[in-house]
Amino acid sequence: MRYEVIVVGAGMVGTSIAWHLQEKKTKVLLIDRKSPGSETSYGNAGLIQREAIHIHPFPRQLFELLKIVPNNNTSIRYRWPALLHYRQALLQYWQFSSQHLIQKIEKEWQTLIEHCTCEHQKMITAANVENLIRRDGWIEIHRTETKFKAAVEVAKKSCDQGVNHQILSLKELQKLEPHCNFKGVVGAIHWLNSWQVSNPGALVKFLAGFKPWSIG
């Protein structure tokens, strides 16, 4: 057999899977209709989020559902035909978003996220792309006291999971980023041990090109 594993989709996830499999001497074929990193990975935020230890459950409260019905919420956008097409998957998403299941799923999810930077580092070092990585974290800003206080409580609890952060008052934020306009901002959280990728698409291409696998 020429290949033992075929990975469909050469974005960040697919390329990472293929990379690690090949490191374990597995014969891998990575397939995509375009070159690696040319679609979703090309336009993503470029963050390796060590702080992303919480999942995003399906809205279950009526007031939460009513907020997204107008389809003008920046956090959730949808198309009606897609809702019908994926209704079964959406129903499962809703079912697994109950409080007791969320707690179980998050514990399992956190065991993956805790390795995100060290596992990325293996690939970054091998592909010699340190120039694409910044390790000064990212800043999450808030415009209402209520949401800011809630976010601070979440951040404090995250310390137990190895997530480093710094709470910033508006004055501290302005000092850290003096050239930004923070009108309406009440405070921020600086997530310290998350990384930034200056060019996510380029990172994927370098990772895919590091080993001589086939690109379909």
Render each residue's pLDDT in the chain as its tens digit; 216 residues. 689 999 999 999 999 999 999 999 999 999 999 999 999 898 889 999 999 999 999 998 898 888 888 998 888 889 999 999 999 999 999 999 999 999 999 999 999 999 999 999 999 999 999 999 999 999 999 999 999 999 999 999 999 999 999 999 999 999 999 999 999 999 999 999 999 999 999 999 999 985 434 444
> 3-class SS at 134?
strand
Residue 1: the pLDDT is 67
- Main-chain dihedrals φ then ψ at residue 78, nearest 5 degrees: -150, 165
> What is the DSSP secondary structure assignment for residue 73, as one 8-state letter?
B
Residue 216: the pLDDT is 40
Q: Tell how far CA 102 is from the center of its chain.
A: 18
CA-CA distance, 10 to 35, in Å (whole number)?
Answer: 7
Residue 76: the pLDDT is 86
How far from 15 is each of 68, 157, 164, 174, 176, CA to CA, in Å? 33, 33, 28, 39, 36
Residues 6+ away with beta carbon under 8 Å from 145:
186
Residue 43: the pLDDT is 84
Residue 213: the pLDDT is 41
